[in-house]
Structure 1
Amino acid sequence: MTLPRFLARTLMLAAMCLGPSIAHADFKLDPRFTDANGDMVADAPTDPSKQIDPDTLIFSYTPVEDPAVYAKVWQEFTDHLAKVTGKKVQFFPVQSNAAQLEAMRAGRLHVAGFNTGSNPIAVACSGFVPFAMMASKDGAYGYEMEIITYPGSGITKVEDIKGKKMAFTSETSNSGYKAPSALLRSQFGMEAGKDYEPAFSGKHDNSIIGVANKDYPAAAVANSVMKRMIARGVIKPEQVVTIYKSQTFPTTGYGYAYNLKPELAAKVKEAFFSFNWDGTALLKEFQSAEPPQEKFISITFKETWAVVRQVDDAMGVSYACK
């Protein structure tokens, strides 16, 4: 994947501004995993006794919006997943990225969609094996990081954030924290806690609603989430103003726990790629994105998430598992 111009510029400036003091991210899997084929994800255990074949598959979607809404959105897909795998499927409404990561690491989560920024940590520490992503019918995918404010906030450009509060989502989020932090530091010379007051809302929808309601002067968000919220009438487009928009990042990656029995893992993949989106709640929810998300396409962590690992490198992210 070609490095977007926004990130190429940001990472180059980060290196120039920060010099040797930044700690570089060295991606590697937790020692309990093996990667014999070099694809950067955990291999299935070779010992059949260490493979799992649960009666009920636990599925979760990244915790960016109201879990109650998304349980219904995913219902037709989870029914299809159950039919293809021959398993019961339970939707698990996680409340935070940390909870989702820990659930898979502890073996309580089997199939999931991890957000862009959490994917590398999920792969390194939780044994997550991403293989799919949503895309349009012609294969276009991705979202942009936007820095938003509200009309009359006094903020008309990024530099105006100085001295004010800036909302992020969580430290594992790419568009909600890592990419905008790298941008503010390297391109605008602004450090959190020194030049602006960081606040963590926990989720993209919290940040978006917070700006729309004038609780936060500015926030960094994934515009795919904002567009879906506007389409559902959660906020009105005139309540927010975009002052910065990045180029495209990969969106939520879908996959399974590395230690699923290989035959079951193959059935999980089959379910994603055989799902018929026509007329479903999933299509209704995600087709409002730009580009529209209308099917699942095959991806690899090694290639598709290279750009995100480079953002992590600029941010000095550690993949050490706690």
Structure 2
Amino acid sequence: MFSHSKKTDTLKLTTLLAAIGMVGMASAPAHAADDCIARGDLDQIYCDMDGDLVADAPAADQLVDPDTLVFAYTPVEDPAVYADIWNPFLEHLEKVTGKEVHFFAVQSNSAEVEAMRSGRLHVAGFSTGPTPFAVNLAGAVPFALMGADDGRFGYTLQLYTRTDSGIDTVADLKGKRVAHTSPTSNSGNLAPRALLPGQGIVPEQDYEVVYSG
């Protein structure tokens, strides 16, 4: 989908899909590194004995019970806006858990993953690209995804250019500088690298990629 705006030429890919991850709150890994025989791509502090590709839950004596739960959503330009949007969800969590729940505004995908890995973040919404990193590095367990009331979910890939840019089709991107969001973003980088070649345009080869962050 092409849309012209007054902004500089950018490739902006938006997503309606987000994986929600929860990590087992533990004071120590469920399995020591030297006694785990099934880990796959998980970090060495985790184990996957049941083969479901996510970290096993900590043993009962390793679980912690924080007084306050911390929730974060994928980094956005104006975190304060999302803090308001998520208020009903946070209030629901408080009701069902009996705990205070705070919203934590993250500045980057890597910061969100690290916050969960370190135990400072308990429940989070990750965008699709960083989800494998959250699973493998932070022990996150995806259990839900966003959708609309009518059952729709998924991505829309949109390209934004200035009205006077002369870019009206995907082919017109050739020879241009195009902004992707970040290297780990699925919708903002990995998806166009996978899909645009089918439209006859190969990122890095046919146009210069710059990252907008």
**TM-score, with normalisation over the residues of structure 1?**
0.50
Instruction: Report the counterpart of residue 52 of structure 1 in structure 2.
Output: 64
When structure 1 is superposed on structure 2, of 63-72 and 88-97 the one drifting more is 63-72
Instruction: Report the counterpart of residue 141 of structure 1 in structure 2.
Output: 153
Aligned partner (choices 27, 32, 36) of residue 49 of structure 2: 36
SS at match of 2:151: coil
Gaps of 5+ in 2: 1-39
Instruction: Report the counterpart of residue 92 of structure 2 in structure 1.
Output: 80
More helix by share: 1
> Counterparts of 1:203-214 in structure 2 under 5 Å?
none
More strand by share: 2
Residue 112 (structure 1) shift:
0.3
Aligned partner (choices 118, 126, 129) of residue 138 of structure 2: 126
Matched to 2:208, the amino acid is: E
C-alpha distance in structure 1 between counterparts of 2:196 and 2:95, whole Å: 47
Aligned partner (choices 68, 74, 79) of residue 67 of structure 1: 79
SS at match of 2:146: strand
C-alpha distance in structure 1 between counterparts of 2:67 and 2:194, whole Å: 44
Instruction: Report the counterpart of residue 22 of structure 1 in structure 2.
Output: none
- Residue by residue over 1:92-128, the C-alpha shift from the partner in whole angstroms, topping out at 9 and shown as x without a partner, is 0011111111111111110000001111111111111
Q: Would you say 1:156 and 2:168 are equivalent positions?
A: yes
| Alignment size in residue pairs | 174
- Residue by residue over 1:187-242, the C-alpha shift from the partner in whole angstroms, topping out at 9 and shown as x without a partner, is 535341x532222112xxxxxxxxxxxxxxxxxxxxxxxxxxxxxxxxxxxxxxxx
C-alpha distance in structure 2 between counterparts of 1:123 and 1:67, whole Å: 23
C-alpha distance in structure 2 between counterparts of 1:111 and 1:125, whole Å: 15
Query: Conserved in 1, the CA contact under 8 Å of 2:69 and 2:102?
Result: yes
Runs of 4+ in 1 over 3 A off after TM superposition: 184-187
Residue 52 (structure 1) shift:
2.2
Matched to 2:52, the amino acid is: D
Aligned-pair RMSD on alpha carbons?
A: 1.9
**TM-score, with normalisation over the residues of structure 2?**
0.74
Q: Identity, % of aligned pairs?
A: 57
